[in-house]
Amino acid sequence: MPQRKTGQHSARLGEEAAVELGTLSDGTIITSSADGAPYLFQDGQRKRILSPAGVLAAGVDLHSSAAQQLTLSEEQLQRIPSAGLLAPAGTRQFDSGLTHLGANHWMRTWGVLELGTGQMAAQTRTATFTWFGGYHGATYVIFSDTNDAPVFQSGLHRYGVDGTVIGTSDRTDAWWETMPPTDTARITRHAVFLTWSPDSFDKILGRWAESGEKVASLISSVAAVAAVFAG
């Protein structure tokens, strides 16, 4: 199964990026002009902000007169190395990275689980870069224990996009779920599923749930209709 480290990026730093990095100071809040996503700049890297608590835990005072904010284009953002997600202690982060699903269709799901409360906040980006080739994709997250048995399973979150010349071809949606906080201590792994065939995936998921098998069995079963990232 594919596995990807959180924060992996494909853009290489060039001379223009070096100039940008040289003008940024630690603690700068960077906002994407493309989708409004916020990042914290620290140690030459950008960290995706999911919660104000994460910024405070990083020692940044948002109300200080010295606090800096900057809006960058997606192209400029990609020239700054990504260090994944910014979250306070007591959380578990997950990030599939932007993934090619075939036919120039792309998805990414990332988020954070607060272990003390069981609250999960996540976002999913769904995009196509074809002129007329829209599609429907879906994402699904499972947290499992040391025996690879599921501890918590999210709902199946579905999103659709149009071709680039038709309508909305790139969207980012936020979603939230809550698991019993008493179960978070059992979690040792997670798996993020990105599927380009939600109906087929849902049928396989139903059969797997009835079988009572381990998560690895589901990962193997959906290989033809989904990309999976485990951590």
Q: Are residues 175 and 124 in the same domain?
A: yes
Count the Cβ atoms, other than its own, within 10 Å of residue 186: 14
Q: Are residues 34 and 118 in the same domain?
A: no
Classify residue 7: in a domain, yes or no: no
Instruction: DSSP letter for 13, please.
Output: P
Classify residue 2: in a domain, yes or no: no
Q: Are residues 96 and 205 in the same domain?
A: yes
Looking at 61, 86, 111, the residue that finishes a domain is: 86
Q: Are residues 144 and 158 in the same domain?
A: yes
Classify residue 8: in a domain, yes or no: no
Classify residue 108: in a domain, yes or no: yes
* pLDDT given at position 128: 92
* Number of domains forming the structure of the chain: 2
Classify residue 5: in a domain, yes or no: no
* pLDDT given at position 165: 87
Classify residue 149: in a domain, yes or no: yes
Q: Are residues 104 and 78 in the same domain?
A: no
Q: Are residues 114 and 23 in the same domain?
A: no
Looking at 32, 58, 86, the residue that finishes a domain is: 86
* pLDDT given at position 20: 54
What's the pTM value of the predicted model, to 2 decimals? 0.69
Q: Are residues 129 and 171 in the same domain?
A: yes
Q: Are residues 77 and 187 in the same domain?
A: no
Q: Are residues 188 and 128 in the same domain?
A: yes
What is the residue-level pLDDT of the chain in tens, covering all 231 positions? Answer: 444 333 333 333 333 444 356 678 888 888 888 777 888 888 888 888 876 666 766 667 665 655 688 888 888 888 888 887 776 668 888 889 889 999 999 999 988 898 989 998 888 999 999 998 899 999 999 999 999 999 999 999 999 999 888 888 999 898 999 999 999 999 999 999 999 999 999 999 999 999 999 999 999 999 999 999 998
* pLDDT given at position 63: 59
Domain of 166: which CATH number?
2.60.40
Domain span including residue 72: 15-86
Q: Are residues 72 and 115 in the same domain?
A: no
- Tell me how far apart the alpha carbons of residues 105 and 212 are, in angstroms, rounded to a whole number: 32
Q: Are residues 158 and 127 in the same domain?
A: yes
Q: Are residues 20 and 134 in the same domain?
A: no
- Tell me how far apart the alpha carbons of residues 102 and 116 are, in angstroms, rounded to a whole number: 38
Looking at 56, 86, 116, the residue that finishes a domain is: 86
CB 208 within 8 A of CB 221: yes
Per DSSP, helices labelled H in the chain are 15-23, 52-57, 74-78, 198-211, 215-221
Buried b (16+ CB within 10 A) or exposed e, 95-118: bbbbbebeeebbbbbbbbbbbeeb
Which residues face 120 on adjacent strands?
113, 177
Exposure of 73 by Cβ count < 10 A (0-12 exposed, 13-18 middle, 19+ buried)? exposed
